[in-house]
Structure 1
Amino acid sequence: MPTRAGRRNPRRSPLRRAALGAGLAGALAAGLLTSAAAPATAGPTAPAAPAAAAPDIPIANVKAHLSRLQSIATGNGGNRAHGRPGYRASLDYVKAALDAVGYTTSVQQFTSGGATGYNLIADWPGGDPNQVIMAGAHLDSVGSGPGINDNGSGSAAVLETALAVARAGHQPGKHLRFAWWGAEELGMVGSRYYVNNLSSAERSRIDGYLNFDMIGSPNAGYFVYDDDPAIEKVFKDWFAAKGVPTEIETEGDGRSDHASFKNAGIPVGGLFTGASRLKTTAQARKWGGTAGRAFDPCYHSSCDTTANIDDTALDRTSDALAHAVWTLGAGTAAQPGGEFENTADVPIPDGGSAVESPVSVTGRSGNAPSALKVGVDIRHTYRGDLVIDLVAPDGSVRRLKDSDDDSGDDVVTTYTVDASGETADGTWKLRVRDVYRQDTGYLDGWKLTF
């Protein structure tokens, strides 16, 4: 490497431990680390927060919502379809219920087929905004009927779960968001509009989207989406614990609002109790009901009324919905804080190649924050020589400091980095390079603060 002209003689500073070393001592005193000599050991990993048990979702409450949706359809031409007054009245009913218990609601407007459509989004205050769990359902019906199973059932269960969160004063580690989509029956128009209008950073903050479309079919089966293994497992384990066998959902795969999220790379999952496909003999033996008959004989028909609901199926799926929201929303005890550090000395070659120091981050689901703190302690006799980068677990690099003519010594500072596009868990690295000769130093340690 070239030697820069006009350099002063190097000043040899005493090598010393500073803030990060003191941090290690404090951690040892607290019993959080086992050895100061472990060179690449992360700071304390907080244990996962135990997920509180979800409350039972009262089937009577869910059916009361369905009765209200039926009354709205009856009073508005027999349906709650996109562009019709019954849809907007349905949205207003759901919104009023959420506003009354403290949700922050917003109505998103779009146009389809020459008519105005609406999505309703409801955020429960609290939780890590960089880790969002969403549950949603389409609120519109077809024009030929009131749409009580398709999809008053999913809409009512999501609403009652949201209200149960409020009743419990639930404060999970992750941020909870609920949604009701318009114009699904026209091709998932509302949910696609919502996802397409999210920034890449906003998309990356959604840990999972749970979809509920037709979950009270009168000749019910129990189908679980198999798109994301972790979400799928939450649902399958719940049903298995109840002694209810499940199958992978195939009839409506890609035909409901989860597809809008899946196509954007967001993990998805959900439940379905069947539509126009016929129940097989084996399925009737497993679940009861009538073989050779559609799971929902009133699918997209005028007879899709409150009489077209199986209470047992709706009760089970509503409880499974709440269980998934409570389980997946739990997060970890370390959210949103937590420190991970490496206090091992790393010599920095004078005018040589870059060196790296790793920090392993574990126990944090979802993405890193938009204001990730990177604490750096470098002891060096001419800090202007140094180039410092943060390397994310996927190998992407964020420049923290370029070389310059700053003649001071040492770099002891904290940088703030927008790392919201990166998965939090994994091995992060601090990369340091001395790009000129004549001065020496070492990395005394560094840390990540979430």
Structure 2
Amino acid sequence: MRAFTALALASVAVLVVPTTTAAATAPAAALAVPDISLTNTKAHLQQFQSIATANGGNRRSTSAGYTASVAYVSNRLTAAGFTVTRQNCTSGCTSGAGPNVIADWPGGGDPNSVYLFGAHLDGVSAGPGINDNASGSATLLEIALTLAATNPSLTSRVRFAFWTDEEQGLNGSRFYANTLPSTERAKIKAYFNFDMVGSTNGGYFINRITSVPGQTLKAYYDSIGVQTEENTEGAGRSDDAPFNAIGIQTSGVAAGASRAKTAAQVAKWGGTQSAFDPCYHRACDTYPSNISDTVLNRAGDAAAYALWTLATGTPATVVWSDTFETATGWTVNPAGTDTATTGQWERGVPQATNSSGPKQLAATISGTNDLVTGRLAGASAGDYDIDGGTTSVRSPAIALPATGPLTLKLSWYLAHGSNATSADFFRVSVVHNGGTTALFTQLGSATNRDAAWASGSWSLTGYAGQSVRILVEAADAATASLVEAAVDDVVITQG
């Protein structure tokens, strides 16, 4: 994990991804989760230690130690049957930094649904970087090799990424995230990050613990009776941050860095009131002395639980879907209370607008139509954006089956200029027998936010057996500002 800086603090302030406290949903027939071999994971750690020892004592992104680490990971993954790409970071990385390693498993699954698991492969120049972050890389590598060896039936695609130049500013993951086309971004349903997962005085931290992917990780720790906490120390300081910034749901596991364990945490997890990792960014970050086998083993099994729960098993059954290529009965201003004077929701072919970056996208997720706030471009970007208040649109009635799990998924974006405020918003709600419940709200802010497709998913299992409608709202609700929103490919699944 990179050291804390003011830049890291700024990263925290721009998290913009969907968050929900709803329980994570899984395929109806998710396959049994294999045990991730601690012995094999430790063997990878020994390899990374040997690589550092043979190459000047470190695995910094610009070093021979990093090059050798890339070769080790790439060769093991290629031999196991992965499609492996070494992605050169051509902008934003330290001069001379080695590549990202991206590995796709060709074992099937929905190509439009991808779960991405990542860890930074580089370390600092002070030492071998074993806990930070050979621990995450070794864990990720062993999970990938276990996936290849067991070759389960997949409902989604699975991708592994080993990032370069994290210690210099999250540069490798940011390059990957920022160069993803919008259609590829929308395919990534969640990103899981593993950074410092073997701290010797470790805790059990989950990034964005209330998100859908975070709840999946928490479910594993709950099952073994281990209490978890939100990873506040690592917020904005590791490779999940660039994915948060482009609207992809994220979570991950960490065991703590230089922050001292509190008395309450000692009572909960054991250890001492001292740094979670006493060798953070120091020469003593070596194998085996700076690794907790117990903490490391649990992190690997938690990651495997998330992968097998979310990406394996029998494909879910589609209950209802809409790509907006034909009219299916959505109603604009269903309650008669909308106040927007322009930019009302409509189904149609959107025209691109630009104001300090893209604000309305001509590219949809599928087909040529989407649901958009004023599809025309006009002479300037602000001609047909939302003005004057709120615009809403509601789906036709949808009969949900009596049994779950039931999941709502859709692609969306909210874009606005730097004159927006937190009174501006995009919201998805479910209208049910007991009223209307908000599933997700994205607020505006006084920063420029470009249009980029993101995906969200929320549990509807609590409404099983009911007739429901999906309500989508967007607003320019304060001072006049440039606000646009869109929705595409709405689907409800069972299983």
Q: Is 1:91 aligned to 2:73, yes or no? A: no
Equivalent-residue separation in structure 2 for 1:229 and 1:318 (angstroms): 20
Indicate conservation of the 8 Å contact 1:228/1:268, yes or no.
no
Q: TM-score, normalised by structure 2?
A: 0.61
Q: Give the number of equivalent residue pairs.
A: 328
One-letter amino acid of the counterpart of residue 130, structure 2: I
CA drift of 1:330 comes to 3.5
Q: Tell me the equivalent position of 2:174.
A: 192
CA drift of 1:331 comes to 7.1
Equivalent-residue separation in structure 1 for 2:469 and 2:207 (angstroms): 31
Q: How much identity, in percent, do the aligned residues show?
A: 48
Which of the two has higher C-alpha Rg?
1
Q: Tell me the equivalent position of 2:275.
A: 294
Q: Tell me the equivalent position of 2:109.
A: 127
Equivalent-residue separation in structure 2 for 1:365 and 1:207 (angstroms): 13
For residue 51 of structure 2, the aligned residue among 72, 78, 83 is 72
Q: Tell me the equivalent position of 2:285.
A: 304
Q: Show CA shifts across 1:312-363 (max 9, x none).
A: 000111100110111122376247x88869xxx99xxxxxxx9x99484975
CA drift of 1:305 comes to 0.5
Equivalent-residue separation in structure 2 for 1:295 and 1:449 (angstroms): 42
Indicate conservation of the 8 Å contact 2:30/2:314, yes or no.
no
Equivalent-residue separation in structure 2 for 1:264 and 1:158 (angstroms): 23
Q: Show CA shifts across 1:110-155 (max 9, x none).
A: 1523213310101111111111101100000001110000000000
One-letter amino acid of the counterpart of residue 55, structure 1: P
Q: Show CA shifts across 1:176-227 (max 9, x none).
A: 0010000000010000000011011111110000000000000011111126
Q: Show CA shifts across 1:346-392 (max 9, x none).
A: 9xxxxxxx9x9948497566558xxxxxxxxxxxxxxxxxxxxxxxx
Q: Tell me the equivalent position of 2:306.
A: 324
Q: Tell me the equivalent position of 1:266.
A: 248
Q: Is 1:58 aligned to 2:37, yes or no? A: yes
One-letter amino acid of the counterpart of residue 165, structure 2: A
Q: Tell me the equivalent position of 1:238.
A: 220
Equivalent-residue separation in structure 1 for 2:235 and 2:457 (angstroms): 30
CA drift of 1:73 comes to 0.4
Indicate conservation of the 8 Å contact 1:117/1:190, yes or no.
no
Q: Show CA shifts across 1:72-117 (max 9, x none).
A: 0000000000111110110110111111111111010015232133
- Runs of 4+ more than 4 Å apart: 337-341, 356-368, 420-429
Indicate conservation of the 8 Å contact 1:228/1:267, yes or no.
no
Equivalent-residue separation in structure 1 for 2:248 and 2:492 (angstroms): 26
Q: Tell me the equivalent position of 1:168.
A: 150
Q: Tell me the equivalent position of 2:183.
A: 201
For residue 146 of structure 1, the aligned residue among 122, 128, 133 is 128
CA drift of 1:285 comes to 1.6
Q: Is 1:101 aligned to 2:68, yes or no? A: no
Q: 1:233 to 1:286 in 2, by over 3 A?
A: same
One-letter amino acid of the counterpart of residue 287, structure 1: W
Q: Is 1:257 aligned to 2:239, yes or no? A: yes
Equivalent-residue separation in structure 1 for 2:64 and 2:197 (angstroms): 25
Q: Tell me the equivalent position of 2:422.
A: none
CA drift of 1:288 comes to 1.1
Q: Tell me the equivalent position of 1:114.
A: 95
Superposed counterparts of 1:171-182, under 5 Å? 171-182=153-164
The secondary structure found in structure 2 opposite 1:117 is coil
One-letter amino acid of the counterpart of residue 280, structure 2: Y
Indicate conservation of the 8 Å contact 1:76/1:86, yes or no.
yes
Q: Is 1:136 aligned to 2:118, yes or no? A: yes
The secondary structure found in structure 2 opposite 1:211 is strand
Indicate conservation of the 8 Å contact 2:221/2:228, yes or no.
yes
Equivalent-residue separation in structure 2 for 1:203 and 1:357 (angstroms): 25
The secondary structure found in structure 1 opposite 2:251 is strand
Q: 1:264 to 1:332 in 2, by over 3 A?
A: farther
Q: Tell me the equivalent position of 2:14.
A: none
Q: 1:237 to 1:421 in 2, by over 3 A?
A: closer
The secondary structure found in structure 2 opposite 1:289 is coil
Q: 1:288 to 1:118 in 2, by over 3 A?
A: same
Q: Tell me the equivalent position of 1:215.
A: 197
- Structure scoring higher RCO (CA < 8 A, sep ≥ 6) equals 1
Q: 1:202 to 1:365 in 2, by over 3 A?
A: farther
- The farther-off stretch of 242-251 and 107-116 is 107-116
Task: Name stretches of at least 5 consecutive residues in structure 1 with no aligned partner.
Answer: 1-46, 347-353, 369-392, 395-419, 430-447
The secondary structure found in structure 2 opposite 1:94 is helix
Q: Tell me the equivalent position of 1:26.
A: none
